[in-house]
Amino acid sequence: MTSEAIHPERSWTEEKLQILEGYLKAYTTALKNRDFHLTYVDAFAGTGYVSRDATQSLATWGDDLDDMSRDVLQGSTRRAIAVDDKPFDSFIFVEQNPEHAAALRRMQHEFGERDIKVERAEANGFLQMWCDAQNRLLGVPWDKPGNRQRAVVFLDPFATQVEWQTVSSIARTQSIDLWILFPLSAITRILPRNRQPDESYAATLDNIYGSDEWRTLYRTRVRRTLFGDELEIIRAEQEAIVQLYLERLSSVFGAVSPSPKWFNNSRNSPLFAFMFAAANPGRGGRIALDIANHLLRNW
């Protein structure tokens, strides 16, 4: 029995994984009769299992699915491997934590029939190198005629780990579809409502957005008080924080889903926005976008 069957109420972690899984199935089916080599890259790969409340990847969880309790879900890597109508040709799992990487290696042996690479590495460094190497090897862009490589990259960080440079390396390939969990709550925390962020956070924000355009989230207005006019700094709402990132994605990707899925905590405060971008500027990108939009709207 799967944990979904035991626990009827879906958590946001589960929704995220189900949307990803839905996309991977539709993507591989859509490309089934095309002669592409399909790679799935999970750059914050975890262990293969994740707790329902997403507070941890479970490194010590047994490999026996009978052990699956109501609070444990199959993680993104296991779900990607399980896509079997037209499986991915290869898998790359990147994980920085040594215990998590060891759990992934056990999974690699469990699915010996699949071509799985486990890289114990920092996700940004690895992906930038990998995308740039693909471009160098295969000619820019990655989907030049004759090049049959396609990939889906999933970026599932706990917080603000994803650098803009990584996102733009992925986009440059023009052959990779990207699912990214945008850490709205972590970013909101470093963007105070009534003053500009401390300069120590400015570099982090530059790194996330790939520019200092996040500064446009702030405006100044004059407030009339009994003692005269006072200048007040106001930060835009969270919708604008998300919108700005979507605009940044649109500046480098061929197609970006306009309506990401917002995930809230139990007190209904937004935690993350789940976004999709297709690097292919042509027909392939439009088809990918239709599939992703459908999943994001209807899940």
Among 28, 57, 169, 174, binds ligand SAM (CB under 6 A): 57
- Counting residues that bind ligand SAM (by CB under 6 A) gives 19
61 within 8 A of 115, measured Cβ to Cβ: no
Tokens 């009827």 sit at which residue? Answer: 8
Among 21, 95, 143, 163, binds ligand SAM (CB under 6 A): 95
Q: For the purposes of burial, counting CB atoms within 10 Å of the CB of 295, is it exposed (0-12), middle (13-18) or buried (19 or more)?
A: buried
Cβ proximity to ligand SAM, 45 vs 116, nearer residue: 45
* Cβ-proximal residues to 280 (8 Å cutoff; 6+ apart), any chain: 143, 174, 175, 177, 254, 255, 288
Among 123, 208, 217, 277, binds ligand SAM (CB under 6 A): 123
Cβ proximity to ligand SAM, 76 vs 174, nearer residue: 76
Cβ proximity to ligand SAM, 94 vs 205, nearer residue: 94
Total Cβ atoms within 10 A of residue 22: 18
Give the closest residue to 118 by CA, choosing from 82, 91, 158: 91
For position 80 contacting ligand SAM by CB under 6 A, the verdict is no
b/e burial code for range 74-98 (CB count within 10 A of at least 16 → b): bbbbbbbbebeebbbbebbbbbbbe
For position 75 contacting ligand SAM by CB under 6 A, the verdict is yes
Helical (H) or strand (E) element with 240? helix 238-252
The nearest distance, CB 160 to ligand SAM, in angstroms, is: 10
Among 11, 18, 51, 97, binds ligand SAM (CB under 6 A): 97
Site for ligand SAM in 148-177 (CB under 6 A): 156-158, 161
For position 21 contacting ligand SAM by CB under 6 A, the verdict is no
For position 19 contacting ligand SAM by CB under 6 A, the verdict is no
Structure tokens at 153: 């990259």
The backbone torsions φ and ψ at residue 46, rounded to the nearest 5 degrees and listed phi first, read 75, -140
The nearest distance, CB 133 to ligand SAM, in angstroms, is: 18
Residues of this chain that interact with ligand SAM (CB under 6 A) are: 17, 44-46, 50, 57, 75-76, 94-97, 100, 122-123, 156-158, 161
